[in-house]
Amino acid sequence: MTPDRLSDTFFALADPTRRAILARLTLGEASVNELAKPFEMSGPGLSKHLKVLERAGLISRGREAQWRPSRLEAGPLKDAADWLDGYRRFWDASFDRLEEHLADLQAKGGQHD
């Protein structure tokens, strides 16, 4: 994943409305009107959010007669999760070292009793 693509993904995920849209799309495809309902938002207002999600590759939009369903495209989410995973490993190792250090301190403290 290119850094710009990753930036697009995180930019899209930065907005709670867009995260809620993605959560809704995990249940299956939906129209603009269906996606707009929980937000009391107009179709055009929601369309702006959908365009950001589409540019980031997080959704695709089809056309079936008058219905334009949006579908979740999870590939960019996996790429973001893979990128974050390196930092998770860093924090896991840091906590493991801290746990070892605290155990050493407790063992040394127990020797002075």
**Domains: count for the chain:** 1
> Residue 105 is part of a domain; what is its CATH number?
1.10.10.10
Residue 53, φ and ψ in degrees, nearest 5: -65, -40
Residues above pLDDT 90, as percent of the chain: 53
pLDDT tens digit string along 28-51?
A: 999 988 999 898 888 888 999 999
Residue 61, φ and ψ in degrees, nearest 5: -125, 130
Say if pTM beats, i.e. exceeds, 0.85: no
Give the domain range for residue 16. 3-111
Cross-strand bridge partners of residue 30: 70
SS3 of residue 64 by DSSP: strand
